[in-house]
């Protein structure tokens, strides 16, 4: 009962059903991962986090990942002659058909049938498969740093390591991120679609805003429009109305905060298409913002445009950061943005909302084909965020394609005056 159930190997089970990408796309990802494993001295990677499993295995496609009682494993050996394996609970074998992996293993409940205590059976199953593949004395990469979190509780991770005392555990981040950082044309198309849906939905919803509606009303309208226009996931969405919440970036929309004359509405985030995020910021104001705030939004807008103008394949990330910062410096904010700015440029986006490339000021990395990222220079109306009343920011998404820099967020990013 506790061990891995044998795979059902037949024609129906060896072909992915309703996949998000063709098998060839996933095969290229695994091939690249194996080359990177060779470079970094790893014999295999063991993945438990939803986005990484989706990236390499194409499934299982399910929201049950949110449930800590259900564990999922993907094992990708570096050896080319060994097939990768996807593992999950026996009752989930239906959704496991979304993966292109031919080797699918399942575990069942322990005697007594506790849904809450599936982890011991899962750990035993993972141990058995690793032993079968002669990886019980290997060097295995797991999700352990650089923003990679294992889809296990600390106790489950401890139990897994104790079950495999001969294994040397290392981070798989150099493998996973170097694969995920560069998107294929098909992945970029997912981002392109998510951005188009999000831009249109936000624009549609903001034009309907009137005094008296709440942040939650606006968020609901945006969600409805995103799904109506083709979103496959809710992604991330923050709607804040200032005052009183002009500085509450990333906050959950509240039913208690309503729009009135003079309000500034900041919408941050976007939907997903097959897991790939849009992440943009659009701003609306009920009446023209007061001159000091309008000037700061204009400053953020110029910083956005200067960064966009500096973008290009082969351009150093730090140089684009410098370009975005110059308008703030000319306005007296200083090189470190200490007077109300945040010194940020943006971040990579993909199956995660924030991922590589890391757009740090001191980065010597250059923009290269396949990178998808958000640019979002920001400034506030007070150097102490605890006393600030308004965050002034715009955010757009970009991709480096075969044709050069493509802005994925197509709608206007100036303040929409209602």
The pLDDT value recorded for residue 92 is 81
**CATH 3.40.350.10, the chain: domain bounds:** 23-180
Averaged pLDDT for residues 365-386: 90
The pLDDT value recorded for residue 309 is 97
Q: Give CA separation, 134 vs 94, 161, 298, in Å.
A: 28, 16, 61
Task: Find tokens 């296990």 and name the residue.
Answer: 152
Residue 67 in this model has a pLDDT that exceeds 80: no
**CATH 3.90.230.10, the chain: domain bounds:** 185-417
Note the pLDDT tens digit of each residue in 134-171.
999 999 999 998 788 888 888 889 999 999 999 999 99
Helices marked H in 207-315: 215-228, 291-310
Task: Find tokens 């308004």 and name the residue.
Answer: 390
Averaged pLDDT for residues 318-331: 90
Reported confidence tier of residue 61, pLDDT bands at 50, 70, 90: confident
Q: If one looks up domain 185-417 in CATH, what number appears?
A: 3.90.230.10
| Helices 317-330 + 291-310 axis angle, to 10 | 150
The pLDDT value recorded for residue 108 is 83
Instruction: Tell me the CATH architecture of domain 23-180.
Output: 3-Layer(aba) Sandwich (3.40)
Residue 275 in this model has a pLDDT that exceeds 50: yes
Residue 343 in this model has a pLDDT that exceeds 90: no
Give first-to-last CA distance, the chain, whole Å.
63
Averaged pLDDT for residues 383-389: 77
> How far is residue 151's CA from residue 161's CA, in Å, rounded to a whole number?
14
| Helices 50-57 + 23-40 axis angle, to 10 | 110
Note the pLDDT tens digit of each residue in 11-58.
344 477 888 999 999 999 999 999 999 999 999 999 999 999 999 999
Helix or strand (DSSP H, E) at 205: helix 185-206
Helix or strand (DSSP H, E) at 267: strand 264-273
């Amino acid at each position: 009962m506790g061990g891995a159930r044998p795979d059902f190997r037949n024609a129906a089970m060896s072909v992915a059903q309703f996949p998000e990408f063709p098998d060839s796309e996933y095969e290229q990802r695994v091939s690249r991962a194996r080359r990177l494993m060779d470079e970094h001295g790893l014999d295999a990677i063991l993945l438990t986090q939803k986005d990484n499993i989706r990236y390499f295995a194409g499934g299982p496609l399910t929201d049950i990942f949110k449930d800590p009682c259900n564990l999922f494993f993907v094992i990708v050996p570096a050896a080319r002659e060994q097939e990768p394996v996807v593992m999950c609970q026996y009752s989930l074998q239906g959704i496991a058909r979304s993966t292109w992996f031919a080797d699918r293993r399942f575990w069942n409940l322990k005697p007594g049938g506790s849904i809450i205590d599936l982890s011991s059976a899962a750990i035993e199953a993972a141990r058995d498969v690793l032993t079968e593949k002669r990886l019980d004395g290997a060097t295995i990469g797991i999700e352990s740093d650089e923003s990679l979190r294992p889809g296990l509780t600390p106790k489950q991770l401890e139990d897994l390591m104790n079950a495999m005392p001969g294994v040397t555990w290392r981070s798989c981040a150099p493998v996973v991120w170097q694969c995920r950082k560069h998107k294929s044309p098909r992945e970029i198309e997912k981002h392109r679609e998510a951005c188009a849906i999000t831009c249109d939905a936000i624009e549609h919803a903001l034009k309907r805003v009137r005094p008296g509606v709440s942040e939650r009303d606006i968020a609901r309208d945006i969600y409805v429009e995103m799904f109506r226009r083709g979103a496959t996931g809710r992604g991330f969405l923050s709607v804040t109305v200032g005052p009183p919440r002009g500085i509450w970036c990333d906050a959950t929309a509240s039913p208690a905060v309503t729009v009135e004359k003079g309000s500034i509405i900041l919408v941050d985030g976007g939907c997903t298409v097959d897991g790939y995020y849009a992440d943009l910021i659009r701003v609306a104001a009920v009446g023209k913002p007061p001159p000091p705030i309008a000037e700061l939004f204009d400053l953020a807008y110029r910083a956005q445009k200067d960064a966009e103008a500096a973008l290009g394949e082969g351009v150093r990330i730090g140089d684009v950061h410098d370009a975005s910062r110059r308008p703030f410096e000319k306005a007296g904010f200083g090189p470190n943005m200490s007077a109300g700015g945040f010194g940020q440029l943006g971040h990579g986006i993909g199956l995660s909302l924030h991922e590589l490339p890391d757009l740090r000021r001191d980065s010597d990395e250059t923009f290269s084909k396949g990178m998808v990222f958000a640019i979002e220079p920001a400034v506030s109306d007070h150097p102490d965020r605890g006393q600030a009343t308004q965050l002034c920011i715009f955010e757009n998404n970009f991709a480096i394609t075969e044709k050069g820099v493509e802005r994925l967020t197509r709608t206007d990013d100036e303040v929409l005056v209602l």
